[in-house]
């Protein structure tokens, strides 16, 4: 159970659901992190109050969901967490450019996207792998422009009525698509999406234009992924984290290398690791609910927890804005009068 050092919980958007200040992303579990270490990281995260566990049916070709299923069946911690998973792509797509080779079976045209058929079949398959009777937050992993929201909500309403899904979330939606999804759900007297998951970091601030304002207006929790900019911000020094950091730094563009070098100087002035400062910057945005971290090791989990403790002074934030300028604010003022 969370102890006295547990960070404060916050509401997921307009719901009464409480989640911790960081979400534990599991994309590395069963791939770069073996099962024993994955279980240890989950134990430590839950103990520290990080109760939002995020996964997807296409992480590691379904292996990650199965790993989580074994964890929950052995730990007895299923009710302690908010379990989030996603549907859109067939599980076979992860880790292989050849879905047939990855899965050993043919992937048909209806085993992807957001048709009612695929949503319901994917949910049932995820429930089986996760070894659970329900999913707390079932997210659409991407927009499907061929699927009308009348069809999408019909499927989700069925899953909610059956007790298989509690809340619905979106991921990688544009601002106008969030609005369309919410208005369509409202017309059906359905709760609709309660969260959006999108990429957000000092290196990628595009969502400040319309996605974050849409989430604020419609009461969606904003759960950003890749707060370290795909690892580049953690590698700002070009050397501190070993071979992987050196590799990331070396392939970055000249402009990005210059930005990262200036960023490393700011972190040095603060006396903090670049990865921790990157998380602190994302987490300190009042529109952000819980940044998603993807710890491969226990050390990375502890580092991320340090990130939510850091308070960035105004002058530091201004320096960061100078190095990593955003889109200029919200639309339309960002580009019009």
Encoding tokens for residue 20?
């911790």
Taking the CB of residue 97, how many other CB atoms lie within 10 A of it?
7
- Token reading at 309: 């403790």
Tell me the C-alpha distance between 94 and 114, whole Å. Answer: 18
Task: List the alpha helices (DSSP H) in the chain.
Answer: 35-47, 63-75, 99-103, 116-130, 149-161, 175-187, 211-218, 243-251, 254-270, 274-283, 298-307, 314-323
> What is the spatial distance between Cα 164 and Cα 134, in angstroms, rounded to a whole number?
4
Q: Which residues are CB-neighbours of 41 under 8 A, at least 6 positions away?
A: 24, 29, 33, 295, 297, 298, 301
Asked if residue 38 lies in contact with residue 11, where contact means CB atoms within 8 angstroms, the answer is: no
Write the DSSP symbol of residue 313. -
Cβ pair 314, 247 in contact under 8 A: no
Tokens standing for 262? 């200036």
Of 79, 68, 61, the closest CA to residue 25 belongs to 68
- Find the angle CA(62)-CA(64)-CA(69) to the nearest 5 degrees: 100
Active-site positions read: 59
Residue 243 three-state SS: helix
């Amino acid at each position: 159970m969370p102890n006295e050092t547990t960070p404060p919980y916050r509401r997921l958007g307009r719901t009464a659901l409480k989640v911790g200040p960081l979400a534990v992303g599991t994309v590395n579990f069963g791939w770069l992190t073996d099962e024993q270490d994955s279980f240890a990281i989950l134990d430590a995260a839950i103990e520290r109050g990080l109760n939002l566990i995020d996964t997807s049916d296409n992480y590691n070709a379904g292996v990650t969901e199965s790993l989580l299923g074994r964890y929950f069946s052995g730990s007895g911690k299923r009710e302690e967490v908010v379990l989030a998973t996603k549907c859109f792509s067939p599980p076979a797509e992860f880790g292989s450019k050849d879905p047939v080779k990855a899965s050993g079976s043919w992937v048909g045209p209806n085993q992807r996207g957001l048709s009612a058929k695929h949503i319901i079949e994917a949910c049932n398959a995820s429930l089986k792998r996760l070894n659970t009777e329900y999913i707390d937050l079932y997210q659409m992993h991407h927009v499907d422009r061929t699927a009308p929201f009348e069809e999408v909500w019909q499927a989700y309403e069925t899953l909610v009525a059956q007790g298989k899904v509690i809340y619905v979330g979106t991921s990688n939606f544009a601002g106008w698509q969030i609005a369309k999804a919410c208005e369509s759900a409202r017309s059906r007297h359905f709760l609709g999406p309660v969260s959006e998951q999108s990429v957000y970091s000092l290196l990628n601030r595009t969502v400040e234009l319309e996605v974050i304002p849409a989430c604020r207006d419609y009461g969606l929790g904003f759960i950003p992924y890749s707060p370290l900019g795909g690892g580049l911000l953690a590698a700002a020094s070009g050397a501190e984290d070993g071979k992987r950091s050196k590799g990331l730094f070396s392939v970055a563009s000249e402009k990005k290398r210059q930005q990262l070098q200036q960023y490393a100087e700011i972190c040095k002035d603060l006396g903090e690791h670049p990865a921790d400062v990157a998380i602190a910057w994302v987490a300190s945005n009042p529109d952000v609910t819980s940044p998603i971290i993807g710890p491969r090791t226990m050390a990375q989990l502890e580092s991320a927890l340090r990130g939510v403790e850091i308070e960035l002074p105004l002058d530091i934030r201004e320096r960061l804005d100078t190095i990593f300028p955003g889109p200029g604010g919200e639309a339309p003022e960002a580009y019009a009068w």
